[in-house]
Structure 1
Amino acid sequence: MNAFSVPWSFATMAFLAGCTAGDAGDAESAASRGAALQGPNWAVLQAGGAAPIRSIVRRADGMLLGPRSSGHEIETWASTNEGASWFRRGSVANNASVDFGDVTMLRVPGTRTIFCAFREHAGGQFRITVARSDDDGDGWAYDSTVAGPVSRFVGAPFLFLRENGDLQMYYDSEELAAAGGFPGHQWIAMQGRRGIGGAWNAYGTVTVSREKASGALSREGMPTVVQLGGDRLMAVVEGVEPFPTGGVRANVLHATQSWDGGRTWDDALRRTPYQAPVHAASGRRYNAYAPHAIRVGNGPVGVAFCTDEDKGSAPDASSTPPDQRNCHIGYVSTTTNFETWSAPSAIWTQTSANYTPGLFERGSNDVIVTIDAFAGNQRVLRRP
């Protein structure tokens, strides 16, 4: 069994992505008109205390389950009241010599099988590791290593199950960018299995999302993937402006689509779901980062994200550690089609220490969000 070696948490990685204002006209006209996040905050279910970070699944018995990294351990937390309160259920991995982070889960529908993927960091090496439970998350065993060990960063894994039953892994990869001749850049990679077991070689290593403008910086990361219908998929990622605004690159959100189940990705459908407005005094753009996307009620795609646009003073640098940023949580969604995005609305603006929102649909159009409030606290809210 692998010694489950994983790195920091999502918190260190917000600045490591890099998407572009792919369709600047669309982004500016729909989603970047300035002003603070509008609308009522979502209703609070849990104000503080431990809960899953970013990822939730529903067990076969109806209980909600999700992971939480506490540094050298991956904990599981469960809820029997639809997310209103949480209790510790167990542990996926525990190793004092490893840093665990970027934890995500996926349950195979119609089974008691749950996969847990996470990022490992130990001895200067990065890995993406998968654990598997065949008893609804009560017991865990090593499944596989998808990427690593490598010295360049790989992390922020996201598990996705195609309609044909193939299991896919999307993740941040400095290794892929360097292999493509762009050291210092970071792209979104995907590897897949035929079915849910075996080697991760069914697709090779696919480049999902990257900036291709000449001379641009491309650092894209923190992918989530949703199904738009059949083999049409959408990946939503965070990034940095390919070229600086006011001399500094801000974080922006980016989306791209696939027509063939993730084998190839259509650059013609690259969009910017949200880029924050420019701060007039400094000439710099505010940040939008750490997105999480879901398909709501088999209708629009909704994206929760972090932003400092309500700060008032100059934007935070995109390299600022997340626990030192001024962050509110916003929300955008697709409108008349999957290429057009709404203006932003507020999820949470009452405090400024927040990170890694994660959306989960409890039932059709019944959406909750978890927000990491740091110091071991996660906030859980419900969409009004």
Structure 2
Amino acid sequence: MNQRFGVLAVSVILTTSLAACGPAEDASGSPEPVAQSEEALSGANWTVLQASGPAPIRSIIRRSDGWLLGPRSNGHEIEVWASSNNGVSWFRYGSVANNAAVDFGDVTMLRVPGTTTIFCAFREYSNGQFRVTVTRSDNDGSGWVYDSTVVGPVSRFVGAPFLFIRGNGDLQVYYDSEELAAAKGYPGHQWIAMQGRNGKTGPWTAYGVVTVSRETAAGAVSREGMPTVVQLGGDRLMVVNEGVEPFTTGGVRANVVNSIQSWDGGRTWDYSLRRTVYRSFIHSGSGRRYNAYAPYAIRVGNGPVGVAFCTDEDKGTTPDLASTPPDQRQCHVGYVSTTTNFETWSGTSAIWTGSIRNYVPGLFERSLNDVIVTIDAFAGNQRVMRRP
């Protein structure tokens, strides 16, 4: 059985969410009692670098000069935040986009190795239409230009893009797509889609629109989202993403974390290797399952795949609904990793248990086995933690 986290504490008063993407959360918004230091409330070997204040949400890259860089959406603007001391502190460095008529979110960055070119992908929403848009900087993030639209405008949700460069140099983008599911005859479902380029420029048509991850059982509901991509070696890839239980437990569906693998650089996906990375236990009082959501995966030290995610399994009372807005859910941040192979997963350990308002953890390996995590604490605050 998966081990549970410890109990929370520490005070934070939160108002509106600045999270970049996604699903959901619950509670009154009243401050929590201060009980212990932040160090005491982090998981084993995780220490706090930044307790509050602005920093990137979920996505971090390293510039050619060694600075760290990442985006943060505040609704109508995509801000750029930088660190010259390896993530210990952050300062505003500019803006990717700013438009009062557009809601921006789900922002991610990718630097082309050995260059000063950085791509930034995000979800746009305006006039009832969604788009996945890509911008580009050719000067290490100092200035940005429009690059392309991957998908849209469409009325069904598309978003939460993740950029990846295949070993042959092709640029790919993975994203949530209600549009693809509906086109295949499953309106109301959401799948992970992928589109790619031959190289790093040109149209997003080199792979067609690939179905990466979805539930396939007869009668199952499929709501897959928030993908991250990890290279396991050569053209063997893994996508880790949020999903929901395909069938209800206690009358509702809880969030779970799934994975799937490709042997050919993302062209096709091996459903025999689809796994549940983490599924929480069932609350005895309601018969409902607790949630695991908003995952982020990286390969640590060229070894195991590590995944940070949110879970409400320490809540004690009835689990949050998967449809609850993120800034209203109660959760801690946990961590699992692959063990003897890329198909088996460890039990959970805690990254952060010091507050109940957390969202979209993002992992970044600063150097071999030196990992930091950013956690959106809402109200303009991002917590940054380190595990050497």
Match of 2:138 among 112, 124, 134: 134
Provide the rounded CA distance (Å) in 2 between the counterparts of 1:309 and 1:357: 17
Shift of 1:39: 4.8
- Listed one character per residue, the Cα deviations across residues 169-205 of structure 1 (whole Å, up to 9, x for unaligned) are 0000000000000000000000000000000000000
Q: 2:340 matched to 1:336?
A: yes
Q: For the residues of structure 2 that align with 1:164 and 1:186, how far apart are their CA atoms?
A: 29
The counterpart of 2:22, out of the listed 6, 13, 21, is: 13
144, 154, 157: which one pairs with 1:153? 157
Work out the CA distance in 1 between the residues paired with 2:288 and 2:118: 43
Alignment of 1:110-259 (within 5 A): 110-259=114-263
- For residues 288-367 of structure 1, the aligned pairs below 5 Å read 288-367=292-371
TM-score (norm 1): 0.91
Equivalent-residue separation in structure 1 for 2:288 and 2:387 (angstroms): 31
1:162, distance to aligned residue in structure 2 (A): 0.4
Structure 1 runs (4+) deviating above 4 angstroms are 8-12
Match of 2:97 among 85, 93, 98: 93
CA distance in 2 between counterparts of 1:183 and 1:203 reads 23
Instruction: Give the drift of 1:52.
Output: 0.1
- SS of the counterpart of 1:144? strand
How far did residue 14 of structure 1 move?
1.4
Question: Secondary structure of the equivalent of 1:273?
Answer: strand
Equivalent-residue separation in structure 2 for 1:55 and 1:13 (angstroms): 14
User: Structure 2 CA distance, aligned partners of 1:277 and 1:11?
Assistant: 28
C-alpha RMSD of matched pairs (Å): 1.3
Q: Contact 1:76/1:91 (CA < 8 Å) preserved in 2?
A: yes
Could you tell me whether the CA contact under 8 Å between 1:11 and 1:355 is conserved in 2?
Answer: no
Q: Which residue pairs with 2:32 in the alignment?
A: none
Query: What is the TM-score with the length of structure 2 in the denominator?
Result: 0.90
Amino acid corresponding to residue 77 of structure 2 in structure 1: E
Structure 2: distance between partners of 1:297 and 1:116: 25
* Cα distance per residue 1:312-362 (max 9 Å; x no partner): 111001101010000100000000000000000000001000000000000
- Residue 40 of structure 1: how far off its partner (Å): 2.8
Compute the displacement of 1:12 (Å): 6.0
Q: 2:182 & 2:45 partners in 1: Cα distance?
A: 42
**Corresponding residue of 2:38:** none
The answer for the alignment partner of 2:291 in structure 1 is 287
* 8 Å Cα contact 1:38/1:345 also seen in 2: no
Partner deviation per Cα, 1:30-54 (whole Å, 9 max, x = no partner): xxxxxxx995372000000000000
Name the residue aligned to 1:47: 51
Query: Do the aligned residues in 2 keep the contact of 1:41 with 1:348 (CA within 8 Å)?
Result: no
Q: Secondary structure at the match of 1:178?
A: helix
Residue 280 of structure 1: CA displacement?
1.0
Contact residue 41 and residue 346 of structure 1 kept, 8 A:
no
Query: Is the Cα contact below 8 Å between 2:129 and 2:155 reproduced in 1?
Result: yes
**Preserved contact between residue 20 and residue 72 of structure 2 (Cα < 8 Å):** no
| Mapped partners of 1:42, 1:161: distance in 2 | 30
Aligned partner of 1:331: which letter?
Y
TM superposition shift of 1:281: 1.1
Contact 2:18 2:379 in 1 (8 A): no
- Aligned match of 1:79: 83
Q: Taking every aligned residue pair, what percent have the same amino acid on both sides?
A: 78
| AA matched with 1:205 | V
Q: 1:61: which partner in 2?
A: 65
Residues 320 and 229 (structure 1 numbering): CA distance in 2 closer, same or farther, change over 3 Å? same
